C-alpha cells in the first residue's frame, strides 16, 4: 500500500455497545453522536493535505457514523483505510458494493462475546463477517481476553468455526475484580493465552501473507506483552511525520493526545520535519510500528506472519 502517512482516527466516541472493559465509560458511549463533516467534506479535506493516507477508523463504533459506507467509498477513492468494528451495523453490508477490498488494510472485528450474549445478537456479527469475507475483505476477529473470556474461549471458537474464522486473544488492559491487567494474569492464564495466540497465528498466516500490508493493530502478537509493556520514552519515533492521531473534530495530535498539529477540516495540518524522541504515553500498537525502539522480545519481532514458537 503506497501511503505516506497513517492516522489513528477517532471518528466518534459513541457506540451501540457498553463493554465493561471499554476505554470509554457508558456516558461517553451513549452520548449523542456528533459529526463534524460529511463524506464529501472529509474526503476533500484529506485530499487537500496532498498526502496519501492510511486511515485507521476507530471509535466508539465507526460503522454507526451517518453514511458510513459512502464515507469509506469517498476516502478509498484516493486513500487506504483500516477499521475497528464490533461488526453489528447494517452499513457494513454495503461496503462490498462501494469499496475495493484492496484499499482496506484490515478489519479488526471485535467479538465482545459477553455483551453480544446479553443482547442475544450474534446473528448480525456472523452475517457481516460472512459478507465481508466473501468479498475478500481482510478480516481478523479479536476477543478481549478478560479472565472470564479466557474461561469461555472454546465457546467463541465454536461460534466462529461454521463461518471459517478463529478468535484472536487480545490483551486485556484494564481492571476486573479489583485487579489490574495484564499484570494480574495468572501463569495458567498466560499459558492459555500463548497457546491461543499461536493457534490464531497459524490460522491467519496464509491470509496475511497474500495481503499487501501487515495489520498495524497487530493483535496476533499480543502474547509478547503478557509480562508488561515496553517503554518507548526517549526513543526516536516518526510519529508526527509518518503517523498522527486524529480526533472526531479533525484536530490532529502527534500521538497520545498531546502535541497539537493543526486541524484536517480547517486545512491547518502540517507534518513535522523529522523524527523526534518519544515524550508521551504508550500508543499501544502504533509505537511498535513507528518507534526506533522497535519491539524485539525473545528473538521474535512484531511481524504478524511469524510462525508460532
Ligand atoms: S464495542 Fe468497542 S467501542 Fe463499543 S463499547 Fe465495546 S469496546 Fe467500547
Ligand atoms: S513511541 Fe508511541 S507514544 Fe511515543 S511518540 Fe511514538 S507513537 Fe507516540
Out of 287, 289, 294, mutate this one to test ligand 2's pocket (max ligand atoms within 8 Å of CB): namely 287
**Measured between alpha carbons, how far is 80 from 55 in angstroms, rounded to an integer?**
6
Average pLDDT, the chain: 90
- The pLDDT assigned to 303 comes to 38
Is a pLDDT exceeding 90 seen at residue 33? yes
Residue scoring higher pLDDT (246 or 231):
246
Q: Give the ligand whose atoms come closest to the C-alpha of residue 281.
A: 2
Helix (H, G, I), strand (E, B) or coil at 156: helix
pLDDT tens for 205-214 read 888 888 878 8
Q: What is the mean pLDDT of residues 83-106?
A: 96
Residue 291 near ligand 1, beta carbon < 6 Å: no
Q: Which three cell numbers stand for residue 254?
A: 502527534
**Predicted pLDDT of residue 199:** 97
Task: Give pLDDT, residue 101.
Answer: 96
pLDDT tens for 140-196 read 999 999 999 999 999 999 999 999 999 999 999 888 888 999 999 999 999 999 999
Q: Is the CB of residue 99 below 6 angstroms from any atom belonging to ligand 1?
A: no
Using the mean position of ligand 1's atoms as its centre, give its distance from the Cα of residue 275 in Å: 32
Q: How far apart are CA 23 and CA 20, in angstroms?
A: 9
Are the CB atoms for 173 and 182 separated by under 8 Å? Answer: yes
**Are 103 and 82 in contact, with CB atoms under 8 Å apart?**
no
| 3-state DSSP helix/strand/coil % of the chain, to nearest 5 | 35, 20, 45
Residues of the chain with pLDDT > 90: what percent? 71
pLDDT higher than threshold 70 for residue 37: yes
Which is the closest atom of ligand 1 to the Cα of 61? 3
The pTM for the full model equals 0.92
Query: Of 175, 282, 285, 150, which Cα lies nearest the Cα of 220?
Result: 285
Q: What are phi and psi of 25, to 5 degrees?
A: -80, 170
The bound ligand whose nearest atom lies closest to the alpha carbon of 258 is 2
Residue 42 confidence (pLDDT):
98
CA of 280, closest atom in ligand 2: 3
Compute the distance from residue 153 Cα to the ligand 2 centre, in Å: 32
Percent of the residues in the chain that have a pLDDT greater than 70, as a whole number: 94
Confidence of residue 137 (pLDDT cuts 50, 70, 90): very high
- Supply the pLDDT for residue 9: 97
- Across the range 277-294, mean pLDDT stands at 82
Band (299; pLDDT cuts 50, 70, 90): very low
Amino acid at each position: 500500500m503506497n501511503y505516506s502517512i497513517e492516522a489513528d482516527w477517532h471518528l466518534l466516541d459513541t457506540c451501540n455497545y457498553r463493554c465493561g472493559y471499554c476505554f470509554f465509560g457508558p456516558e461517553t458511549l451513549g452520548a449523542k453522536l456528533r459529526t463534524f463533516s460529511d463524506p464529501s467534506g472529509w474526503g476533500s479535506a484529506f485530499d487537500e493535505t496532498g498526502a496519501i493516507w492510511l486511515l485507521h477508523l476507530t471509535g466508539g463504533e465507526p460503522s454507526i457514523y451517518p453514511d458510513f459506507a459512502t464515507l469509506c467509498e469517498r476516502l478509498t477513492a484516493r486513500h487506504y483505510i483500516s477499521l475497528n468494528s464490533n461488526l453489528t451495523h447494517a452499513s457494513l453490508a454495503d461496503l462490498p458494493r462501494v469499496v475495493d477490498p484492496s484499499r482496506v488494510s484490515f478489519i479488526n472485528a471485535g467479538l465482545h462475546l459477553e455483551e453480544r450474549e446479553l443482547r442475544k445478537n450474534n446473528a448480525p456479527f456472523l452475517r457481516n463477517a460472512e459478507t465481508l469475507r466473501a468479498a475478500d475483505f481482510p478480516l481478523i476477529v479479536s476477543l478481549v481476553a478478560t479472565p472470564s473470556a479466557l474461561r469461555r474461549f472454546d465457546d467463541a471458537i465454536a461460534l466462529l468455526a461454521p463461518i471459517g474464522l478463529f478468535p484472536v486473544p487480545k490483551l486485556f488492559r484494564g481492571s476486573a475484580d479489583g485487579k489490574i491487567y495484564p499484570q494480574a494474569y495468572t501463569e495458567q492464564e498466560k499459558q492459555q493465552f500463548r497457546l491461543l495466540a499461536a493457534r490464531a497465528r497459524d490460522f491467519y498466516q496464509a491470509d496475511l501473507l497474500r495481503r499487501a500490508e501487515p495489520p498495524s493493530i497487530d493483535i496476533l502478537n499480543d502474547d509478547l506483552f503478557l509480562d508488561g509493556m515496553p517503554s518507548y520514552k526517549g526513543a526516536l519515533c516518526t510519529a508526527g511525520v509518518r503517523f498522527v492521531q486524529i480526533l472526531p473534530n479533525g484536530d490532529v495530535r502527534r500521538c497520545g493526545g498531546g502535541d497539537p498539529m493543526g486541524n484536517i477540516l480547517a486545512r491547518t495540518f502540517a507534518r513535522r520535519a523529522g523524527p523526534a524522541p518519544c515524550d508521551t504515553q504508550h500508543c499501544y500498537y502504533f509505537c511498535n510500528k513507528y518507534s526506533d525502539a522497535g519491539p524485539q522480545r525473545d528473538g521474535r519481532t512484531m511481524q504478524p506472519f511469524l510462525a508460532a514458537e
